[in-house]
A and B are shown apart, each in its own frame.
Chain A
Amino acid sequence: MSNASASAEPAEQLTAEEKQLVRAPLVLNKRTMGWISNYISSIVEAKTPIWWYVAMAITAPLTVMCLAMLVYLIATGVGVWGNNHPVGWAWDITNFVFWIGIGHAGTLISAILFLTRQKWRTSINRAAEAMTLFAVVCAGIYPALHVGRVWMAWFLAPVPNANGIWQNFRSPLLWDVFAVSTYFTVSVLFWYTGLIPDLATLRDRCKTKIRKFIYGVLALGWRGGNRQWRHYEMAYLILAGLSTPLVLSVHSVVSFDFATSVVPGWHTTIFPPYFVAGAIFGGFAMVLTIMIPACAVYKPLHDLVTIDHVDKMCKIILLTGSIVGYAYLMELFIAWYGSNPYEQAAFWYRAFGPYWWAYWSMMFCNVIAPQFFWFKCLRTHLVWVWIIVQFPNAGMWFERFVIIATTLARDFMPSAWGMFHPTWVDILTFVGTFGLFGTLFLLFIRFLPMICMFEVKAVLPEADPHHGEAHH
């Protein structure tokens, strides 16, 4: 449970012993329920700020560029990317796994921390979940469009067709289709369900008819009655229960794409836990990457997303980063211990082959860089945190690149070895997905409450029926 000591609450009435027992508040500066509703709603209701237009002017063209690249891809062929014969998957699947990984933190925060009653989650879960969805949208582009004949991709769906051919349920790629689509569906439901009470709040505050209508429709007739709350909480709990295994399964299934193959460097049983840990690691880094600037723009949010939150997330990054580091070393150990020359060579080439730079970048970003979070001064300094979490962000991309492209570049037969070089289409498509991600996030900030108002209110001291009793 929360044990942060960076509390700003004055506890002048308490004895020294009592002070130690008091939990640090989750909301600082004694913000009231009314302030929370007012402030968070005002972000959506106020006139669109200039910075939003500036940011949109950057991300929207990037989104358009991404779409243009995808149109070019579909119109011309997968050859516009740098993929080739040994390297059948390169940036496409790298970016897919990268984005899917990012899409882990949100649902993890929402579902697992909800089930484990981690109350500090309330102020960050909404944005983190939104980030999850947008990341999965970015991720979904790649497996859908990396195939040679996009117009035939419906063959992946288990629908009856004239040929009477069923899907191949032995293929991890098919598992992937189900895992990712299920994850996305449940995440959307989970997110939307959690939004309903806040949408109702917005609806109730609306001053124009159009807004009232839109938010009214989105709020699904929420009135805040007891029965509704009871249903809501049950639904939310069920969805959290559904999401929790999905968080763990989706990246495990993604890792099966590699783990079930025969390719040395892919064929390894450590992948599922290692991929999940890596995904949480990367996901939290991305949450911090986004939340820190958002709170910098909306300064009062620091009372809700406190330095304590940042500290906790940094600790999770440190933990998962270390798990990832352990996995890297274990891979090397098993390659050596397994005495399979193909495995040994695969790991040798990762570290010292033509893509050594990617491997060592990964090692530094994912294993070395998070170790700075052992120091509390770095965990609680927003600028440093923001800088340090960029390493996991980049490192997790390198990890996927190392696993996918560099393994394929040198596998069984030296005669068939070949290098992968990204093309401009590869690069612009990837940059474009950041534009898409940013655009969706900006729209989210602008039109939806980015912090779950009713849940934050629930963790205020006032929400506790026994609030203040101990002192009287």
Chain B
Amino acid sequence: MKINFHHPAPEKTPRIWRSLRELENDPEFEKHLHTEFPRGADVYQDSGLSKRDFIKLMGASIALAGVGLTGCRRPESYLVPFTKGVEFTIPGKFLYYATSMPARFGAIPLVATTSDGRPTKLEGNPLHPFSNGGTDTFAQAETLNLYDPHRSKQITENGKPSSREAFDAYVASVAQSDGSNLAILTEPSSSPTRARLRAALQTKFPKLVWAEYDPLAPTAANAANEASFGSSVRLVPQFSRADVILAIDSDFLNPIETGIGYAQGFSARRNPEQKGASMNRLYAVENHYTVTGGMADHRLRCKISETGEFARQLGLALAAATNNAALAEVANAFPASQTSIDPAWIKECAADLAKNAGSSIVLAGPMTPAPVQVLVNAINNALGNIGSTLLPVKADLVPAASIEDLAAAIDKGNVKTLFLMGVNPVYNAPANLGFKELLSKVPDTVHLGFFEDETGTASRWHVPAAHFLESWGDCRTFDGTYTSVQPMILPLWNGVSEIEVLNILSGATAPEGPSLVRETFNAIAPQATAESWNAFLRDGFLPESAFQQIQPTFNAATASGLAKKGAPAKADALELVFLQSSSVDDGRYANNSWLLETPDFVTKVTWDNVLMVSPATAVRLGIKTNNFGLLGDVAEKMGNDVNYDLIGDIVELSDGKSTIEAAAIVAPGHADDSLSIALGYGRKGVSALMDGVGFDAYPLRSSNSMRFLDGVTIKVTDRNYPIAQTQEHRSMEGRDLVREGSLERYAKDNAFAQTMGMDSHIPPNISLYTHPELNAKDQWGMTVDLNTCTGCNACVVACQAENNVPVVGKDQVRKNRDMAWIRLDRYFAGDSSDPEMLSHAIMCQHCENAPCETVCPVNATVHSEDGLNLMAYNRCIGTRYCANNCPWKVRRFNYFDYNQRPIDELYWGPLAKKGMADSLKMSKNPNVTVRMRGVMEKCTFCIQRIEEAKISRLVEAGPTPASDTPIAPFKVACQQACPNDSIVFGNIADPKSQVSRMRKDPRGYVMFKYLNVSPRVTYLARIRNPNPKMPGADLVGMANGSGHHGDAHGEHADQGHVDSHSDHHTEPAAH
């Protein structure tokens, strides 16, 4: 097979690419053009980007990596212009390539879907050993990042446009120097290629300062592991072996914190029916509700400053129970402090852990201070978990200077040339360093970044960075599996990757992405052949390349030395905890509108970060809990949640030196005297989208308060701030929507969920209508296992990416017009200060007897023979009757032309700019209609994937009847993204299919059975596994009450408090 690859000639003039920015019709850009960034004005004026140019340059495809490449003329670059009609592509058919997304905890292995050369969707790589095929929200949103029209597109020097040649010449001149005043600040990375280039650079420039900084890096965890077990040791948890798990300040079930693959095995052990192993039990100790806390069987609200004391007391209890001297030494070394933690909680938790020694895991979060982490290591060591449930491996961590070290070097004047690669320290460095002023002391600074951000504008050079979908690279997942990163498209705006810059800096002449990676591969792979390299690219990873397991010994002396540095909790002090944002991470996704509009897991706030405060502390500090004063209080007493259209009080927080402002909201389940705020918001002057979004918390974060600031002062102002929430109501109002029970109840009656509430005594349903027969061979259905669904949002963003779901903006979210096709409802049950949290994935239920279909006057929503509730956009006139009649309220109406008009000009009507940025058009899934205004839309069960599978079956069946050929397995977008496999989709007519088996699970129930709508989505009730000896164990798993009635007969006076009257029904009602 001969494939003639023609790599497109590098474009000499950057004219075409730059004019794209003009094409996006961004008024903010016009403003920038003439005010803030006048340097680009002359270049941007020109236009002339023809469709032909587009196809030629942007429609670049990737050759099927690894097939017959060795015989090719240009094996080093596999990108082919799409004008050439690549041999193996069929126009309109997707091609899939393995790649991965570099992430904080290693990497997220991915399969990229490319459509005519454009990557349009990213999905988890199910082949990868350290992945369960899921992804997190960030990976799902990366396609939007790739096509973000606000990305920087121009190399600039001192604010003026420059060229790649000039920049290369500059880097070459640095490469010629002796590097004595050279420093590099970059993010920690798992890339072996980068490590190799770094080593080469450090050999070339012995005095090079190589510093690494990431505001959310697990620096403390690494330090604690080093003190406990020696350098470069990493503990890889094996949740499949753990019966009892204690998470201290750790949101390990949330893939955005720990990465995909970290928590694998947990959900399998969550199944009460699993053979051979009991259901696991999860304890969580945290200050604010996380998804892990929501999954926990027992949750302790605890200030972060007191988690050290918690760990100390737990350590002492376990040291006594296990007779472990090392643990006693470390626990005693940790400074004691006074706390109000319930001793019974610690005692019983310790007893449960001790009983399950060797089959338990105690976890601390990545940012938890190192002294606490070292205590946790000592506890795991005493329990014998190291080596059984926590596999120690020898990672390839190479120590780097910290940002503090770099700051000291700059301060001393030792740094004359500073490369800032992929970092934004001007925005996010610890506030005590004053990085912006420091940067002005360095004459030559080079910034490589996606945006001309705070650091970019403060640097001499700014270079657009290449996206990981545009560049070659590699990385290791958390367990060390060597994983490939390969480009899907040529850099849209001439971005440069970090390894290319490092390569030039090391003196090489041309940046050659693939050869750089291949060189590393040859060093790592035991037998590096062309075949193994091709397999590496094809599968996305190198098999058997995980880090070696080792047998470390716990070093009590160094560990207790670190534990001694623990900070005792300040009594009566108010602490401020810095959180990773669920939407913008540390601020790097601040321009991603999909993520900005994705509601926070717990608060359901979009577009902003807010200061979370417990109800009791809010009252103590004078923060309003509702917006209606006395009338609101009365209404609340009557059972009304009056926080609709939430308006938050603006508070001022100060550490004595700096002051920040933030809007406060009351967060049920938050620890008292503790405040939490997510990082990454409040950025100004970078792009129109970031401006005016949220509050910047970095000014209060310093080197010694990276996780929390103990002793913050607060002042409640009389100003308000509007907040956009997608869900305002907190309580389930006694309705049996999410059904849960304890393991004990499940053991007594494993089908308890099917007869809850009204379902226990509704008469048999009859229908007035005879419906068309559902007679297709495939009948599509879905199950959602509420026992493993954490509410992590991955499905929400995956659906958005797959189905071209538009973003509507904060103002529209406040008007309840968000467009998400799948939403994660979150309910609190029980006492509002310390409630249980339940999460509930809601999408179109594809009712067989759909209430939406009967009411549509124009037959725009109808049923297919294979059981899908179809939506014909062309036929829809937008009466909204279907949405009114949908009990799930999953139908979404295009109140404006969200796809065509800028979200800040929606009300301008025809006067608003029309059209979508060209690059955003490229991000759309070509198989899904982009909806216009005035039509209704909703979950389609990814009908485009169903049809794709059916077409494949036809092709495969050939002349034989298609109905005899089984359909190839495929997944819908939400199912594919789910890191816990909570969503199962498939053919319910096939009794052997997984979805059929799941539907028969005794935990399965359908919602609103009394309506006789026959939903195709079955929910599997949630089972909690409380420890009966724990305080409050009798309330666990009681969100619906314990009776068969639920609250079906609840008195009116109890509406609104029904969630707390679960204890009224102590006995199942006699029916």
Q: Give A residues with C-beta under 8 Å from B.
A: 72, 75-80, 82-89, 146-150, 152-153, 155-156, 163, 165-168, 170-174, 177, 257, 260-263, 339-342, 344-345, 348-349, 352-354, 408, 411-419, 421
Given A165-B859, A168-B857, A418-B644, do A263 and B884 touch, yes or no (CB 8 Å)? yes
Q: Please tell me if the beta carbons of A149 and B878 are within 8 angstroms of each other in the complex.
A: yes
Q: B1050 interface residue, CB < 8 Å from A?
A: yes
Min CB distance A182 to B, Å, is 16
CA distance A261 to B876 in the complex (A): 19
CA distance A458 to B971 in the complex (A): 79
Residues of B within 8 A of A75 (CB): 909-910
Q: Please tell me if the beta carbons of A414 and B893 are within 8 angstroms of each other in the complex.
A: no
Q: Which 5 A-B pairs have the closest CB atoms?
A: A148-B878, A148-B934, A79-B895, A88-B880, A76-B909
B640 interface neighbour in A79, A147, A148, A353, Cβ under 8 Å: A353
Q: B970 interface residue, CB < 8 Å from A?
A: no
Q: Please tell me if the beta carbons of A76 and B896 are within 8 angstroms of each other in the complex.
A: yes
A149 interface neighbour in B642, B842, B935, Cβ under 8 Å: B935
CA distance A342 to B1049 in the complex (A): 11
Given A79-B895, A353-B640, A414-B735, do A172 and B1048 touch, yes or no (CB 8 Å)? no
Min CB distance B428 to A, Å, is 34
Q: B88 interface residue, CB < 8 Å from A?
A: no
Q: Give B residues with C-beta under 8 Å from A.
A: 635, 638-640, 642, 644-645, 727-729, 731-735, 737, 757-758, 769, 812, 815-818, 823, 825-827, 840, 842, 851, 853-859, 874-881, 883-885, 887-889, 892-897, 906-910, 932-936, 1008, 1010-1011, 1013, 1047-1050, 1052, 1055
Residues of B within 8 A of A177 (CB): 857
Residues of A within 8 A of B737 (CB): 413-415
CA distance A147 to B859 in the complex (A): 15
Given A84-B815, A85-B893, A413-B889, do A149 and B644 touch, yes or no (CB 8 Å)? no
Residues of A within 8 A of B642 (CB): 354
Min CB distance A155 to B, Å, is 4
B858 interface neighbour in A89, A167, A341, Cβ under 8 Å: A167
Q: Please tell me if the beta carbons of A86 and B881 are within 8 angstroms of each other in the complex.
A: no
10 inter-chain pairs at a CB distance below 8 angstroms, sorted by A residue, are A76-B910, A77-B895, A79-B817, A80-B907, A146-B880, A148-B877, A152-B877, A168-B854, A171-B857, A349-B1055
CA distance A220 to B1008 in the complex (A): 61
Min CB distance A438 to B, Å, is 28
Most buried by B among A72, A152, A257, A411: A152
Residues of A within 8 A of B635 (CB): 354
Residues of B within 8 A of A263 (CB): 884-885, 887
Q: Please tell me if the beta carbons of A415 and B729 are within 8 angstroms of each other in the complex.
A: yes
Residue of A nearest to B874 (CB): A163
Min CB distance A245 to B, Å, is 22
Q: Please tell me if the beta carbons of A166 and B757 are within 8 angstroms of each other in the complex.
A: no
Residue of B nearest to A79 (CB): B895
Min CB distance A466 to B, Å, is 56
Q: Please tell me if the beta carbons of A341 and B640 are within 8 angstroms of each other in the complex.
A: no
Q: Please tell me if the beta carbons of B878 and A79 are within 8 angstroms of each other in the complex.
A: no
A408 interface neighbour in B757, B884, B895, B907, Cβ under 8 Å: B884
Residues of A within 8 A of B732 (CB): 414
Given A345-B1055, A413-B842, do A147 and B895 touch, yes or no (CB 8 Å)? no
CA distance A23 to B732 in the complex (A): 65
Residue of B nearest to A176 (CB): B857
CA distance A411 to B889 in the complex (A): 9
Q: Please tell me if the beta carbons of B1048 and A262 are within 8 angstroms of each other in the complex.
A: no
Given A76-B896, A148-B878, do A172 and B812 touch, yes or no (CB 8 Å)? no
Given A155-B858, A167-B859, do A78 and B934 touch, yes or no (CB 8 Å)? yes
Min CB distance A106 to B, Å, is 27
Min CB distance B290 to A, Å, is 19
Residues of A within 8 A of B885 (CB): 261-263
Q: A76-B910, A78-B880, A147-B879 are in contact. List 8 more A-B contacts (CB 8 A).
A: A148-B878, A156-B858, A166-B859, A344-B1052, A353-B640, A414-B735, A414-B737, A415-B727
Residue of A nearest to B730 (CB): A414
CA distance A419 to B935 in the complex (A): 22
CA distance A82 to B645 in the complex (A): 13
CA distance A418 to B884 in the complex (A): 13
CA distance A77 to B729 in the complex (A): 28
Min CB distance A220 to B, Å, is 36
Residues of B within 8 A of A349 (CB): 1055
Given A77-B896, A156-B858, do A341 and B757 touch, yes or no (CB 8 Å)? yes
Residues of B within 8 A of A84 (CB): 815-817, 895
CA distance A412 to B1010 in the complex (A): 12
Residues of A within 8 A of B1049 (CB): 339, 341
Q: Please tell me if the beta carbons of B892 and A85 are within 8 angstroms of each other in the complex.
A: yes
Residues of A within 8 A of B840 (CB): 415
Q: Please tell me if the beta carbons of A147 and B896 are within 8 angstroms of each other in the complex.
A: no
CA distance A152 to B1048 in the complex (A): 44
Residue of A nearest to B912 (CB): A76
Residue of A nearest to B906 (CB): A79
Residues of B within 8 A of A261 (CB): 851, 855, 884-885
Residues of A within 8 A of B883 (CB): 85, 88
CA distance A230 to B893 in the complex (A): 56
Min CB distance B832 to A, Å, is 15
Q: Please tell me if the beta carbons of B758 and A340 are within 8 angstroms of each other in the complex.
A: yes
Q: Please tell me if the beta carbons of A413 and B815 are within 8 angstroms of each other in the complex.
A: no
B644 interface neighbour in A174, A257, A354, A408, Cβ under 8 Å: A354
Residue of B nearest to A71 (CB): B909
Q: Please tell me if the beta carbons of B895 and A78 are within 8 angstroms of each other in the complex.
A: yes
Q: Please tell me if the beta carbons of A414 and B875 are within 8 angstroms of each other in the complex.
A: no
Q: Please tell me if the beta carbons of B731 and A414 are within 8 angstroms of each other in the complex.
A: yes
CA distance A67 to B877 in the complex (A): 21
CA distance A160 to B875 in the complex (A): 14
CA distance A77 to B1047 in the complex (A): 41
Residues of A within 8 A of B827 (CB): 414-415
CA distance A344 to B1049 in the complex (A): 10
Q: Please tell me if the beta carbons of A341 and B895 are within 8 angstroms of each other in the complex.
A: no
Given A148-B880, A262-B1011, A345-B733, do A415 and B825 touch, yes or no (CB 8 Å)? yes
Residues of B within 8 A of A411 (CB): 887, 889
A262 interface neighbour in B826, B851, B880, Cβ under 8 Å: B851
Residues of B within 8 A of A172 (CB): 855
Residues of B within 8 A of A80 (CB): 907
Min CB distance B531 to A, Å, is 53
Min CB distance B1047 to A, Å, is 7
A340 interface neighbour in B817, B908, B1010, Cβ under 8 Å: B1010
Given A156-B877, A341-B1047, A412-B888, do A79 and B812 touch, yes or no (CB 8 Å)? yes
Q: Please tell me if the beta carbons of B857 and A354 are within 8 angstroms of each other in the complex.
A: no
Q: Please tell me if the beta carbons of A341 and B734 are within 8 angstroms of each other in the complex.
A: yes
Min CB distance A157 to B, Å, is 10
Q: Please tell me if the beta carbons of A417 and B728 are within 8 angstroms of each other in the complex.
A: yes
A417 interface neighbour in B729, B854, B895, B1047, Cβ under 8 Å: B729
Given A85-B889, A148-B894, A418-B816, do A170 and B935 touch, yes or no (CB 8 Å)? no
Residues of B within 8 A of A412 (CB): 735, 887-889, 1008
Most buried by A among B642, B877, B884, B1010: B884
Residue of B nearest to A418 (CB): B816
Min CB distance B886 to A, Å, is 9
Q: Please tell me if the beta carbons of B638 and A352 are within 8 angstroms of each other in the complex.
A: yes
Residues of A within 8 A of B888 (CB): 412-413, 416
Q: Please tell me if the beta carbons of B935 and A171 are within 8 angstroms of each other in the complex.
A: no
B908 interface neighbour in A76, A86, A89, A345, Cβ under 8 Å: A76
Residues of B within 8 A of A163 (CB): 874-875
Most buried by A among B640, B732, B858, B894: B858
CA distance A320 to B884 in the complex (A): 29
Min CB distance B582 to A, Å, is 18
Residues of B within 8 A of A257 (CB): 881
Q: Please tell me if the beta carbons of B877 and A147 are within 8 angstroms of each other in the complex.
A: yes
B878 interface neighbour in A147, A260, A415, Cβ under 8 Å: A147
Most buried by B among A349, A354, A412, A415: A415
